[in-house]
Amino acid sequence: MREAARRRIRRPIPRRANGNFEKTESLANAGRSDGSVLATSADMVSGILPHYDQCRSGAKSPARRSFRLLRFSIALGLLAAGAATARAETRVALVVGNSAYRAVPTLTNPQNDAKDVAAKLRDLGFKVTALVNLDQPRMQRAIDDFARAAEDSDAAVFYYGGHGVQVDGRNFLLPVDFQFHSDDDVYQHAVPLDGVLKELEQGDGVHLVFLDACRTNPLRGSRTSAHAEGLAEVGNAAGFLIAFATQPDNVTFDGAGRNSPFAKSLLAHIATVGQSVSSMMIDVRKDVINMTAGAQVPWENSSLTRQFYFVPGETENQSLGTWSWQILPVDFDTGGSNSPAAPAAAPGKGHKGAPGHGHGGQGKG
């Protein structure tokens, strides 16, 4: 009997014509691409085969426990495969939060937002440079260094929280040492957004830019051509998604809590498994609209040529329980049946898959 059991374990697993096993093995192999240890689902199935007849005949232990473990292991393997795909990409990020302005109104939350966004991006496999309260030379140097790193990366994220203005239709990000006396000060002492985008164009990867500005126009009332509130639409190169915390020519809220409404919602959705960045922005938009009673509507310009996922994998709509049985359509040699169905449930029991998230305070500019 023991020899027969060993022969059954070594027996090759039949493949079905519908390709389910091929799909499973490709996902498992993706987990191996960066050296992670992930057994193929076929290996896991073969290890549990000797217990299958017992499970099907109604034995409760250890066969049923073994099959529960099998289903969990397969689901975990699929998630690991998605995580391995994210790790295989080269991901870099620059996160800047300017709060301690010296000559224009200070802001409470940008430095908090930057720290929290940076921590989340690190968890998602990004090599992050996080900086707060930068003067103009340090801010420009950080952007230059980031642009060079982004040239060879698969994905590059630039997040900025702080003051921003538009002058003559051009957007500028304000360092904390910015002082205004005339329009020339904006051109000479602020950081032009179009210059940041131009530097990032040198890379071939996905470029994601998140701008949580303008938090009220700090130049309002000055003798300047920066009459419009908020930032203007920008970007014409391929491979970019530029997300604004609010619609063009409008201001954003700094938030009454630790984070701005935009940063709070971004943090809530950025790690959703299997959600593209485009779909993520829809959820962020709905959250911010609700949090600000419709006063703030996040906006984006996208020229992406492929989808990007912060966390690749199956969405919550695909239950783990369903996945586990979809990848077990094999003939277990239980009387010659080729049916791909799952083992019959005990009388009176059915099989179920696993069941499928304040108002703004001072303004920002």
Q: How far apart are CA 247 and CA 298, in angstroms?
A: 6
Tell me the DSSP string of 158-208.
Answer: EEEES-EEEETTEEEEPPTT---SSHHHHHHHSEEHHHHHHHHTTS-SEEE
For residue range 68-106, what is the model confidence (pLDDT) as tens digits? 666 666 555 555 555 555 557 899 999 999 999 999 999
| pTM metric for this prediction | 0.65
256 or 167: which leads in pLDDT: 167
Average pLDDT, the chain: 74
Q: Which residue has the tokens 């210059």?
A: 195
Segment (H or E) for 131: strand 127-132
What is the Cα 128 distance to its own chain's centre?
A: 14
For residue range 227-254, what is the model confidence (pLDDT) as tens digits? 455 565 676 789 999 999 998 867 777 6
- What is the structure's pLDDT at 154? 97
Check pLDDT > 80 for residue 340: no
DSSP assignment letter at 132: E
- What is the structure's pLDDT at 213? 87
Q: How far apart are CA 51 and CA 42, in angstroms?
A: 15
| Strand partners of residue 207 | 156, 240
DSSP assignment letter at 355: P
194 or 350: which leads in pLDDT: 194
- Structural domains in the chain, CATH included, are 1-88+329-356 (no CATH), 90-302 (3.40.50.1460)
- Closest by CA to 24, choosing from 61, 60, 66, 77, is 77
Check pLDDT > 70 for residue 282: yes
Amino acid at 151: E
For residue range 98-109, what is the model confidence (pLDDT) as tens digits? 999 999 999 999
Check pLDDT > 80 for residue 353: no
- What is the structure's pLDDT at 170? 87
- Per cent of the chain over pLDDT 70 is 56
